[in-house]
Amino acid sequence: MKIEFWLNGVKRQEEIQPDTLLLDFLREKGCYSVKRGCETANCGLCTVLMDEKPVLSCSTLAARADGKKVVTLEGMQKEAQELGTFIANEGAEQCGFCNPGFIMNTFAMLKELTDPTEEQIKEYLSGNLCRCSGFVSQTRGILKFLQYKKAQEEA
């Protein structure tokens, strides 16, 4: 089956099998930030943005990308590095395995919420698992990142 979509801003046409998972398809295309974690749509490690909404690629067929814009961490390196620095500065990069999911979900959240509260951040990111730091460091890093961005806008 043929699909046509945008991957990190580049229009593509690909031939896929109907049962191909988006996670496997993206990794075949070199998007290694998309990670296999629980394989049950419970950990958030495989999160990508599809038309600016977070999607768990381990439970989404690649066929659903047809006509859509798919963004992985590879497609937003500058923004991801900036947010990732704030998360790391708060001690949340112990193993780094969960960070791509946190980063992708944070950017999806910012498309929906203009000035999220700490409670809204925690609620939005509740589908991400971190076995090292238990979300406290990530939340602090995200809050500091938001403060930084707000100060930049006001300057």
3-40 residue pLDDT tens: 999 999 999 999 999 999 999 999 999 999 998 888 78
Helix, strand, or coil (residue 15):
strand
Homologous superfamily assigned to 2-74:
Beta-grasp domain (3.10.20.30)
CA 59, 62, 68, 71 dihedral sign is positive
Which residues of the chain fall below pLDDT 70?
93-94, 133-134
Can you list the alpha helix ranges (DSSP code H) found in the chain? Answer: 22-28, 77-89, 99-112, 118-124, 136-154
Parts of the chain belonging to CATH 3.10.20.30: 2-74
Select from 74, 70, 56, 58 the least CA-distant residue to 14.
70
pLDDT of residue 4: 98
**CATH code assigned to 76-154:** 1.10.150.120
- Which residue(s) pair with 54 in the sheet? 49
pLDDT of residue 97: 76
pLDDT of residue 38: 80
User: Tokens 């990794």, residue?
Assistant: 27
Parts of the chain belonging to CATH 1.10.150.120: 76-154
